[in-house]
Amino acid sequence: MRKGEDTMAEAKRIQTPLTKEKVAGLTAGDRVLISGTIYTGRDAAHKRLVALLEEGKELPLDLRDQIIYYVGPAPAPPGKAIGSAGPTSSYRMDRYAPLLIEKGLTGMIGKGLRGPAVIEAMKAHQAVYFAATGGAAVVIAQSIISQEIIAYEDLGTEAIHRLEVKDFPVIVAIDSHGNNLYETGRKEYQNKK
Amino acid sequence: MREIKAALITEKVKQLFLKISYEIGDDVLCGLRAGKDKEISPIGKAILEEIIANDTLAAKEGMAVCQDTGMAVVFAEVGQEVHITEGDFQQAINQGVREAYAEGYLRKSVVSDPLFDRKNTQDNTPAVIYTDIVPGDSVKLAVTAKGFGSENMSRLKMLTPADGQQGVLDFIVETVSLAGPNPCPPVVVGVCVGGTMDKAAQLAKKATMRRLGSLNPDARYQALEEKALEQINASGIGPGGLGGLTTALAVHIDWYPTHIAGLPVAVNICCHAVRHGTVEI
């Protein structure tokens, strides 16, 4: 670290399951390293999950205190646990996320903006939205120890995978109080040189 | 007449897509490093470091820089003295894409019918192919693997001639501003002014493929590029959209003659994983 340089605070370590108590301790801007089990899901899987809930049927996974990572990984090359696995844009899941949060989901990992309905649901049910760095797919893949498809195998990369992760690097983008780093961070550096 | 076998085109296309999927060009890395050195946001700087580490590791490990290995786009210039033998030109390109994505552990992200079926074609084909017939006896291919996080944030507007330079500048800056964190900033902004609606979009895509750091041959457009870049980087969006100075690495503006009544502007946004390459056969 160079002298006088403005440095980032030490990362917080979190072990899943992500209980609401743990969520409450997270603030927008926190660097977090996640270890434990997380699940993948993106457009097509979310559509199916919400369709099941609307039909009153059971989900293929218990969402309580769980984290969903918005990702469609690349195929694993030989000798690797997973292929490149960076986040996809989260706003495409906005239509589905509030209902999943209501059903117990406490964490989402993705990149980019979230709509007001998602943020309201996060505040009402104590959930947190983490940003992973878009395009840091190889670095992120190194923190994924193993993967297993648990539902919707026919969706290929969009199937729901259970991932075991160690020190998966994220930043709290929107916390359970609605603090939004996408807004405050942007404002802070507007018209700066 | 020079004969070129379709299989040779397939092989060249395959090698090119493998290379660009694993190796980010030195032009882009240079831009990322320059951004990192200037960045004053601690989170922004850390994100740029993470991206640079990622790109270095991807090349070393032979892994895709990003899991979104894109939709394959090919700009082909086929010399009119060339005769393609033992196969079909478009199929040869698609076969190269198919082999690269299968053998290179690249993600297959293309669905057939976009609205009703959305069924994955399982081999990332078809590619989007633009072919120009030009003088000469060679085939030049410029390719890009275009991710959709940034493609989805692209926009086109049919301005009026009265909107002029200010209208063009405002539309470019507004497009990046509205995109915010979604297209994985720092981005590269490809713009085309003029042409028809479709031509503007096509050349805006091609503009994202221009080498970073290369100067626009027209000083007026170069000035417009600089002005747009300055305004975009004053937006505060920053790396990953979490705040900072490095929102775009470059703005590239191309143009095409247009109608007396029109001033189309297309803005094609590309994420920092600018994957582009060329080959001449």
**Residue from the list B41, B67, B245 with its beta carbon closest to the beta carbon of A85:** B67
Place of tokens 């999943």: A100
Q: Please report residues of B whose CB lies closer than 8 A to that of A157.
A: 107-109
Reduce the DSSP state of residue B214 to 3 states and report it: coil
The token pair that represents B101 in the structure block? 């994505």
Which residues in A lie closer than 8 A to residue B21 (C-beta atoms)?
Answer: none
**Joined tokens for residue B94:** 């698609």
- Is the per-residue pLDDT at A8 higher than 70? no
d(CA B124, CA B143): 14
Choosing among B154, B233, B242, which should be mutated to test the A contact, i.e. which has the most A CBs within 10 A?
B242
pLDDT in tens, B129-162: 999 999 999 999 999 999 999 999 999 999 999 9
Cα(A151)–Cα(A159) distance, integer angstroms: 6
Place of tokens 């059971």: A58
A111–B240 CB contact, under 8 Å: yes
Contact B155/B145 with Cβ under 8 angstroms? Answer: no
| Chain B contact present for A192, CB below 8 A | yes
Residue B128, pLDDT score: 98
Chain B CB within 8 Å of residue A111 CB: yes
CA–CA dist B2, B82 (Å, integer): 5
Would you write out chain B's pLDDT as a tens digit for each of its 281 residues? 899 999 999 999 999 999 999 999 999 999 999 999 999 999 999 999 999 999 999 999 999 999 999 999 999 999 999 999 999 999 999 999 999 999 999 999 999 999 998 999 999 999 999 999 999 999 999 999 999 999 999 999 999 999 999 999 999 999 999 999 999 999 999 999 999 999 999 999 999 999 998 999 999 999 999 999 999 999 999 999 999 999 999 999 999 999 999 999 999 999 999 999 999 99
**Radius of gyration of chain B from Cα atoms?**
19
For A104, list phi and psi in degrees, rounded to 5: 120, -10
Model confidence at A3, in pLDDT bands (50, 70, 90)?
very low
B21 to chain A: nearest residue by CA?
A: A84
pLDDT band at A193 (very low <50, low <70, confident <90, very high): confident
Q: In Å, how far are A87, A94, B1 from A129, measured between CA atoms?
A: 12, 12, 61
Amino acid identity of residue A74, one-letter, is A
pLDDT for residue A2 is more than 50: no
What does the alpha-carbon distance between residue B167 and residue A115 come to, in Å, rounded to a whole number? 29
Whole-number Å distance between alpha carbons of B128 and B123: 14
The answer on pLDDT for A1 being more than 70 is: no
Secondary structure class of B245 (helix, strand, coil): coil
* Contact in structure between A98 and A69 (CB atoms under 8 Å): no
Looking at residue A100, its pLDDT comes to: 96
pLDDT of A145: 97
Whole-number Å distance between alpha carbons of A28 and A181: 6
Rounded Cα distance, B176 and A180, in Å: 19
pLDDT tens, residue by residue, A135-144: 999 999 999 9
Q: What is the pLDDT of residue A4?
A: 37
B243/A134 CB distance under 8 A? no
Element holding A98 (H helix, E strand):
helix A97-102
DSSP state of B272: S
Could you tell me if B253 and B207 are in contact, meaning their C-beta atoms sit under 8 angstroms apart? yes
CB B238 within 8 A of CB B41: yes
Burial of A32 (0-12, 13-18, 19+ CB in 10 A): buried
Nearest-Å Rg of the Cα atoms of chain A is: 16
Question: Residue A7 above 60 pLDDT?
Answer: no
Q: Which H or E run contains B252?
A: strand B248-256
User: What is the rounded average pLDDT of the residues A46-72?
Assistant: 95
How many A-B residue pairs are in contact by the CB < 8 A criterion? 174
- In this prediction, residues A126-155 reach a mean pLDDT of 96
Q: If DSSP codes are grouped into helix, strand and coil, which group holds residue A151?
A: strand
ipTM of model: 0.92
Angstrom distance (rounded) from CA B184 to CA B55: 14
Other residues' Cβ atoms within 10 Å of the Cβ of residue B259: 11
**Displacement of CA A112 from its chain's centroid (Å):** 11
> Which residue of A77, A182, A189 is in closest CB contact with B181?
A182
Question: Are B149 and A157 an interchain contact pair (Cβ–Cβ within 8 Å)?
Answer: no
